[in-house]
Structure 1
Amino acid sequence: MTETPENKKRDQIRIILIVAIVVIALGAGAKIYMDYTAKAALQTEYEETKLRLGNQLDSISTQLNDRILEISKLGGDIDSLVVLKDSITSQRDQLQRTRRANKALIQRLDRKVTGYQELLVAKDEEIAELKELNTKLLSENNVLKEEQNELNATINKAEQKQQELQQQISLAAKLKAENISFYNINSRGKEREGDFRSRQAEKVKVTFNLAENDVAPVAGHQIMIQVIDPAGNVIFDVARGSGSFQIDGKEFFYTAMQEIVFDNSKQALSFVYDKGSEFEKGDHKIIIWSDTYEIGRTSFNVK
């Protein structure tokens, strides 16, 4: 069959259409492929940037936490840094939750990371300044402690000296009995000085005067005598005016007692003790007390 010009023209048009369709299809496919490739590249870039920013935020958060601890130990203000650290953690979490590429978020976080890094450098400078200040304060504190220790030592020395002086004054202010004399008194009231026989007396008399003492103040005192028998016992009878007194919590007995006001006049004192029975044979002691300390003593013998 002979091909007519019309058929030939239709074939040519058909071929042109087929070629055009193929070209258009290839172009569309190429565009789709290029769009897909671009989106994939963009997503890959986003994931890489997201990972980088996430790591940077984690690192900044860790470093910032170290600065917070250091500044806190040095006594600096950390309140605003704690708030900032919480904000960085929140931004990191927001970035991790974002699945699609977000150019605005990436750019914003990128700028913030740069600012955070600059902040870390500034906080390092602040820490260095705080350390220097603390070192200076510690040095000044050590100096103050040394001065305080020296002052305390001086005060302690002065107090010790004061105590020693007070003890010396207290010792110097103690009363002292002088010119002590002893007498026995017989049944007729006759006094005889010195030793005696047991049948000669039931009463004894002790006289003395208080020595002059310009340090001792005018004050009241209890003056007591102890008459001690040969066995070492204090002759004691409450009915005849005897009693007891305390020294450092320990009880002592006295034979007789008088209350006086010391006036530094070398005042004379006299004690008469009526035993009511004969004295035992042997050596006796008489100890004179003022309040809680001994001021004199003498002795006598009963034959």
Structure 2
Amino acid sequence: MSEVAKKKGGSPDKIRIVLIVALIIIVAGAGFKIYTDNESNNALQAEFDATKITLTTKLDSISGQLSNRISEIAKLGGNIDSLVTLKDSITAQRDQLQRTRVANKAIIQRLDRKVGGYEELLLAKDDEIAALKVINTKLVEENIDLKTEKNELNSTIRKATETQQELKQQISLAAKLKAENVKIFNINARGKEREGDFRSRQAEKIKVTFNLADNPVAPVAGHKIMIQLVDPAGNVVFDIARGSGSFTVDGREQTFTARQEILFDNSKQEMAFVYDKGSEFDEGEYKIVILSDTYEIGRTTFIVR
């Protein structure tokens, strides 16, 4: 190469050296950029992972607190439909965040804003719960007052009913007939009557007389007046052919010796029963029980010697 050429272009070795240095600089720059980009991406991913954990924890906490609010509002009678829907949405957002592996700034920003809104909603629901508690307390107090009034009214009605029943019972007892001046006569074969005790051979028939006592409470009404002649063994003398029969009291059948039907008119009516036994009377004490309808209104005894 001529001296002129060497002066214009330089030596080939120098040119190669310059090119190699330039190439090294370019490769080093590219490598540094890749390195710095990787470091930046790693830092971004690490930040995303940390933020994701924080947001997941917050969403879980909000979901749990929301469940408590839902339970309390339901007990107080409030509407929980929208809250249940919101809780399901929060659960879905948390699941979506957990599935996101690569850093996504948009998702983080969106959820971060929503978390703030959810926290404000929880505070608002606390106010709603406080208001519902006040309403429920008033309702409970009103309900207690109503129950007290109802109980007092029921007590008054019950007492009035008991008083009415007692009054009816008293009137019913007061209205019962009563036999007074009960007397026993024996009648011999000649038709002669003798009052009081007697010997068995002295009587073929007995006669029971009495009058119905004055009772202004008892209404004018029909009654069945019956007598029971009870022998010394405790048996009612009974003969259908001579007018005897039976009646029922409290589900139990009883017999009567003789019966008459009358219209009670509160005139101290006198009554007489004549009973022909058809055989001699056994010795001992006899009882005469007088009944009106089904209840006793008088009794007496006599002795046969």
TM value normalised by structure 1? 0.90
Q: Does 1:25 align with 2:27?
A: yes
Matches within 5 A, 1:136-215: 136-215=138-217
TM-superposed CA distance for 1:115, in Å, is 1.1
Distance 1:83 1:259, change over 3 A: farther
1:94-133: CA deviation from partner (whole Å, max 9, x where unpaired): 1111122222222221121111111111111111112222
Q: Does 1:218 align with 2:214?
A: no
Q: Aligned equivalents of 1:12 and 1:290: distance in 2?
A: 156
CA RMSD of aligned residues (A): 2.3
Residue 300 of structure 2 aligns with an amino acid whose one-letter code is: T
Residue 104 of structure 1 aligns with an amino acid whose one-letter code is: A
2:137 to 117, 123, 135: 135
TM-superposed CA distance for 1:174, in Å, is 0.6
Q: Aligned equivalents of 1:86 and 1:287: distance in 2?
A: 88
Which residue of the partner structure matches residue 65 of structure 1? 67
Which residue of the partner structure matches residue 56 of structure 2? 54
Which residue of the partner structure matches residue 263 of structure 1? 265
TM-superposed CA distance for 1:18, in Å, is 1.4
Residue 205 of structure 1 aligns with an amino acid whose one-letter code is: K
Q: Does 1:14 align with 2:16?
A: yes
Q: Aligned equivalents of 1:77 and 1:216: distance in 2?
A: 67
Q: Does 1:35 align with 2:37?
A: yes
TM-superposed CA distance for 1:257, in Å, is 1.9
Residue 38 of structure 1 aligns with an amino acid whose one-letter code is: S
Q: Does 1:122 align with 2:104?
A: no
Identical residues among aligned pairs (%): 69
Unaligned runs of 5+ in 1: none
Runs of 4 or more above 6 Å deviation: none
Which residue of the partner structure matches residue 227 of structure 1? 229
Residue 260 of structure 1 aligns with an amino acid whose one-letter code is: I
TM-superposed CA distance for 1:31, in Å, is 1.3
Residue 291 of structure 2 aligns with an amino acid whose one-letter code is: W
1:220-275: CA deviation from partner (whole Å, max 9, x where unpaired): 33221111223332222233222333333444332112233333333333222111
Count how many residue pairs are aligned between Structure 1 and Structure 2: 302
TM-superposed CA distance for 1:286, in Å, is 0.9
Which residue of the partner structure matches residue 283 of structure 2? 281
Q: Aligned equivalents of 1:66 and 1:160: distance in 2?
A: 52
Residue 242 of structure 1 aligns with an amino acid whose one-letter code is: S
TM value normalised by structure 2? 0.90
Q: Aligned equivalents of 1:46 and 1:220: distance in 2?
A: 106
TM-superposed CA distance for 1:7, in Å, is 7.7
Residue 83 of structure 1 aligns with an amino acid whose one-letter code is: T
Does 290-299 or 262-271 show the bigger shift? 262-271
Q: Aligned equivalents of 1:86 and 1:162: distance in 2?
A: 64
TM-superposed CA distance for 1:61, in Å, is 0.6
Which residue of the partner structure matches residue 241 of structure 1? 243
Structure 2 counterpart SS, 1:226: strand
